[in-house]
Amino acid sequence: MPDEPNSIIRVYTPLVAVAAIVLVVDQVTKEWATGLDKCVDLVERPTVGFCLAHNEGMAFSFGWGSGPIIAGVAVLIVGALLFSARKVPLGSRLLMGAIAGGALGNVLDRGFRAPAPRSTNSGFMSGAVVDFLYSSFWATFNIADTAIVVGGLLLAVALWRLPDPETDPDVASPDGVLNTGASAPDADTDTSTITP
């Protein structure tokens, strides 16, 4: 039986809402960061602050210049998250939304921002991702990266701890309704003779 419209809305609304929030916050903060003309240290040791950087690769600049491939993989991951969302509880769907919003935030950069300064790349998806969160002990990153990494780690833990519906009859369905493993009595069944 196909999913009812209300069920689809109930499953996807939280995921899409979180993705939209992450996407907006990511793009607004990146736009703010493009106005930075120098690095700003918030904490001296270890150094933590804001410093504008442009990245045409992945984390730690791996795959520099591979924007179309990275964007394609990101879109496939978002598609896989949407496909899987119906099978997991609400908390996992919220984390999937954070990952999807972060992935789409970086895809938007690749599609609509200019390449990195002094870059020789041009063409489809050759824009540089704006990074601005800086620390002396880690690579420069952004809100999208944070949503992807934190959301991914928490989702892995949540899915690892998720009970197996085939071995545990008391598993919550994706819409949050507890499945006790027992079927409800038919409307024609005389419940007055049923004993607990």
Where in the sequence numbering do the catalytic residues fall? Answer: 131, 145
Write out the H or E segment, with its range, that includes residue 170: none
Which residues share a beta bridge with 178?
A: 172
Torsion, CA 6, CA 24, CA 49, CA 36, rounded to 10: 170
On the 0-12 / 13-18 / 19+ scale of CB atoms within 10 A, 53 is buried
Long-range contacts (CB closer than 8 Å, 24 or more residues apart) made by 31-37: 33/130, 33/132, 33/142, 34/130, 36/132
Distance CA 51, CA 19 (A): 25
Q: What is the torsional sign of CA 161, 165, 171, 172? A: positive
